[in-house]
Amino acid sequence: MQSIAIVDYGMGNVRSVQKALAHVAPNDNVFLTDDAQLINDADRIVFPGQGAMGACMQALNQHGLADVIKSCADEKPFLGICLGLQLLFDHSEENGGTDGLSIIPGNVVKFAKSDLKIPHMGWNTVKQVSEHPLWHNINDNSRFYSVHSYYVKAADASVVAGTTNYGIDFTCAIAKDNMFAVQFHPEKSQHDGLQLLTNFVDWKN
């Protein structure tokens, strides 16, 4: 049995993530925690987040979790979801400018087109830009559910694993070494979302 820690710092729909992971990994220890030591000791890390990036960074710092997130993202299978993707980057335009964790070089910017409904909310197809074990048994251009007003712009195109079009093509998934992170919500994306979570649980990077 492996342990899967879901980082709970008060800024994410963590219960639905936990429920989805427990469904695909019934024999594993899937748990919510804000304890840095428990996160550090877990076999796999899931890093969700919802809301404003400034508040998320403040909550991470208040819980003393920034350093353990950085070390785990470097050392073990790591899945970021929604703001858990954006927080990996250097800087966001949100909240008048917010520094992220600087794990992945790049920035987080707001959708600029005035004719787009913001936040971007609903189902969109995901183009798989690169092959990756977390795309296993998921067809290219499958649909996933998103809710967000900002998107990531990676400085290094080689980390881009998936894109979505919403007025523009934007990065919705990144992959680097043992890290995989997505803008969409796999826990809300029905069969393909559960498949992605299954792939993460089984991923041997």
Domain ranges of the chain: 1-200
Digit-coded pLDDT (tens) for 75-93: 999 999 999 999 999 999 9
pLDDT at 9: 87
Q: How far is CA 200 from CA 25, 78, 115, 176, in A?
A: 10, 8, 36, 14
Note the pLDDT of residue 115.
Answer: 78
Q: Which two tokens stand for residue 60?
A: 């991470």
pLDDT reading at 135 higher than 80: yes
Give the residue numbers marked as catalytic.
Answer: 82, 185, 187
Model confidence at 56, in pLDDT bands (50, 70, 90)? confident
Q: Nearest CA to 45 among 12, 73, 78, 2?
A: 78
Q: What is the per-residue pLDDT for 148?
A: 86
Q: Could you check whether the bond before residue 119 is cis, i.e. omega within 30 degrees of 0?
A: yes
Percentage of residues in the chain having pLDDT higher than 70: 99
Which element (helix H / strand E) includes 60?
Answer: helix 53-62
- The rounded distance, in Å, linking the Cα atoms of 187 and 199 is 13
Residue (of 198, 202, 142) closest to 173 by Cα position? 142
| CATH number for region 1-200 | 3.40.50.880
